[in-house]
Structure 1
Amino acid sequence: MADIPPRDADKAPAAAGDPVEIARALVPVLAERAARFDESDEFVAENYELLKEAGLVEAGVPRELGGGGAEVRTLAEMLRLMAHACSSTALAFSMHTHQVAIPAWRWSHQQVAAVEPLLRRVAAEKLILLSSGGSDWIGGSGKATKVEGGYRVSARKAFTSGANAGDLLMTGAVVETAEGPDAVIHFAAPMKASEVNIVETWRALGMRGTGSNDVVIDNLFVPDAGVSFTRRAGEWHPVFQIIATTAFPLIYAVYLGVAESARDIALDMAKKRHPSAALLDLAGRMETSLRGAQLAHRWMLDTVERNSPSAESVNDVMIGRALVAKHAIATVELAMELAGGAGFYRDNGLERRFRDIQGARFHPLQPGPQAQYAGALALGHSVAHIF
């Protein structure tokens, strides 16, 4: 196990090594800063510098391309540990992490050569990749107009976690067609382009340090060669099956970590009180709920490791996502009850976890579409347009 630095340490451990142990060594530093970022709505920029110095930006890049070669299960454990200390850092960094893990999987398992230059740049230049999340889900958003040699794109992408630290926004825009279904082009928008600007919108209930601001793209030229793939709007595409299967076990590792840390805080507080029947009941229900979240997340990771993205793998991951969210939220609610009135004080850190865990509700597939997707598969119907 890596040595734990002093609580006032401001230096990251050496870049080489296991990302899980590096994250473990960073936990005291991240924890020391978490309340300040939360209280000020300040983006966790200092923590991103630590992650860069520690070699975690390139952890998911295959070793052959200059990275750490970490697989999804290892990356998820890295994020879970971070979340114990600073939910916002872990969630924002999960967006970069999954944007690396997806092309890494395509390179390793599908031999897609087109993703290699991006992965090599992440490793060599420590590029931060951004995800515009729900803005670029199956329906697509923004407008792309075909022009000579490429497209002109205008769009507003909400919930862009880590926007202020990003180098490339992995995004898309809708191309309207008169003759049939609209198309969506996918591309990387350089964050330093004059046509790309950040609008400071992120003042939120929880996850306040993620810097999940809006990114506005105004008439950006995307050359034909810059389009990574094109698909139909509002319809599942094989690449999106890879995205959904790979990304959500990483994102929900963060919420699992938040629930676990809330449980730890509540137990420390409850141990100082008389073990009444009511106290034991609350503690037992909290433990049971947390175990449900842990088992569901393990199921998500097992699904990734089948290495067979499909409608079925999406279903399995999204069932896991629903169960992790349900049980993680319930765990934190029970932790608040177990802690009693003391849990209301900010200094104890529990109310921050209570706010942060609410984010688990909002990522796709949300409860209605997730249940419809699972039901359609169970009954043998198409899921192509359920999202």
Structure 2
Amino acid sequence: MTIQHLHAGVDAAPDSAVAVPVEPALRALVVAGIAAEHAEAVDRDARFPAEAIAAAKAHRLMSLFVPAEFGGEGADLAVVADVAYALGRACASTAMIFAMHQTKVACLVEHGRGQPWHDDLLRRLAREQFLLASSTTEGQGGGNVRSSAAAIEPDGTHVTLDRAATVISYGAEADGVVTTARRAPDAAPSDQVLAVFLKEDYALERLSGWETLGMRGTSSFGFRLRARGLPAQVLPVPYQAIHAQTMTPVSHILWSSAWAGIAAGAVERAQAFTRQAARGAGGQLPPGASHYGKAASSLRTLRTLIAGALDRYAQARGDAKALSSLDVQTAVTMLKVEASELAVATVSSALRACGLAGYRQDGAFSIGRALRDILSAPIMIHNDRITANLAATGLMSTVPASLRD
């Protein structure tokens, strides 16, 4: 299934969804409106987008991925991606928080369902609209999410985790944290599990601040996480499988959808500026009109890229062998690299289309916030790290001898 919004032109009405269930799409537009209203304050004050997330909870967007049997929407990834796109047009921080939360929910649904504790968590999430944070980076490892220092340790009938996280985005505002860890104190750093701790299970000690160029509202402070819970709170599936089959494809698709939304918002402003300038000049296009054309074209390419990834994931979902294949892993991994670079190029072209009006921080055509936010995309798990890892993996594979191999 693909998304109508990802194929529609910039001029398409935002509620003209056909391939997306109408009710979630309309609710997303309401939440996006609230997010847009507070986006400047969220950015200026570097604060959590409390109003937008409260609206998302009130409109039951937090449980979109949760199966209907547990009280959720049972939506597929295309619907959730479309919501991330709509939110990205309004407030980048809100969109990224939504994308990170939904990635964690997808991991629970795909790899925890059928386990009593996790089934109960899914019911509570749907009922109480929990917001789940992610803790996958740690210490000096930074963006290497496939290596953990802290381990799950037995403590009588419970388990504990003491983890110094490089960042836990919106950790202080979350209702729970989904975190990677070594399986046991004697396990290798790459022998990881995924565990879920609810707010009553842990304490956070702030270790670092979050004074950044963009994405300021994600509140991605560094924390020391001290948690204690039941062994059942650790997912039974090795994190290696979760990472390949769900974490990477879902996060890269949802991040890319949020970035595409940011880019679409910038293109929309560039379009409005170009039209206004042309009207004021008797139909003569302004000098930056060619840059608007580039922005609109690269946005179409970006959305087509995401739509292709959605189709690929939908075809492979549930097939562990297919999801773990080199072709699929390379495609979903490179989606992040290609989408982030395209999104930056799109916003940059939109800025040049608007000229000084886009460069200014005030005014209806300002592109400044979108540019600052989108510059985080290539360095959020650095693209250089991703391409280097892919190069190492590719050395172990055979170069195809024909187009049909």
Shared fold (TM-score, shorter chain, > 0.5) = yes
Name the SS of the counterpart of 2:61 in structure 1: coil
- What residue identity is the alignment partner of 1:63? A
Q: Give 1:195 shift.
A: 3.2
Asked whether the equivalents of residues 201 and 228 of structure 2 are also in contact (C-alpha less than 8 Å), the reply is: no
| Aligned position for 2:309 | 300
Query: Does 2:340 match 1:325?
Result: yes
Q: Which runs of 5+ in 2 are unaligned?
A: 1-20, 139-143, 279-283, 399-405
Q: Give 1:369 shift.
A: 2.8
- What residue identity is the alignment partner of 2:324? S
Query: Does 2:232 match 1:225?
Result: yes
Query: Does 2:372 match 1:367?
Result: no
| Aligned position for 2:263 | 259
Query: Does 2:335 match 1:316?
Result: no
Query: Does 2:272 match 1:268?
Result: yes
Asked whether the equivalents of residues 92 and 210 of structure 1 are also in contact (C-alpha less than 8 Å), the reply is: yes
Counting only pairs closer than 5 Å after superposition, residues 117-196 of structure 1 correspond to structure 2 as 117-135=120-138, 137-174=145-182, 183-193=191-201, 195-196=203-204
Q: Give 1:361 shift.
A: 1.1
CA 1:180–1:79 in structure 2 vs 1: closer, same or farther (change >3 Å)? closer
Alignment partners' CA distance in 2, 1:122 and 1:88: 22
Which residue of the other structure, out of 49, 66, 69, is the alignment partner of 1:64? 69
CA 1:332–1:226 in structure 2 vs 1: closer, same or farther (change >3 Å)? same
CA 1:334–1:38 in structure 2 vs 1: closer, same or farther (change >3 Å)? same
Q: Give 1:116 shift.
A: 1.9
- What residue identity is the alignment partner of 1:160? I
Which residue of the other structure, out of 77, 80, 90, is the alignment partner of 1:75? 80
| Aligned position for 1:338 | 353
- What residue identity is the alignment partner of 2:121? L
Alignment partners' CA distance in 1, 2:338 and 2:344: 10
Alignment partners' CA distance in 1, 2:159 and 2:35: 42
| Aligned position for 2:5 | none
- What residue identity is the alignment partner of 2:85? R
CA 1:82–1:194 in structure 2 vs 1: closer, same or farther (change >3 Å)? closer
Q: Give 1:270 shift.
A: 2.4
CA 1:41–1:367 in structure 2 vs 1: closer, same or farther (change >3 Å)? same
Query: Does 2:103 match 1:98?
Result: yes
Alignment partners' CA distance in 2, 1:356 and 1:39: 12
| Aligned position for 2:250 | 246
Name the SS of the counterpart of 1:130 in structure 2: strand
Which residue of the other structure, out of 18, 26, 32, is the alignment partner of 2:31? 26
Asked whether the equivalents of residues 93 and 162 of structure 1 are also in contact (C-alpha less than 8 Å), the reply is: no
Name the SS of the counterpart of 1:152 in structure 2: strand
Q: Give 1:107 shift.
A: 6.7
| Aligned position for 2:9 | none
- What residue identity is the alignment partner of 2:311? D
Q: Which runs of 5+ in 1 are unaligned?
A: 1-15, 382-387
| Aligned position for 2:60 | 55
TM-score, normalising length: structure 1: 0.83
- 1:54-92 residue CA offsets vs partner (Å, 9 max, x unmatched): 111112111111011111100000110011111111111
Query: Does 2:222 match 1:214?
Result: yes
Alignment partners' CA distance in 2, 1:97 and 1:180: 29
Task: Name the Cα RMSD after superposition.
Answer: 2.9
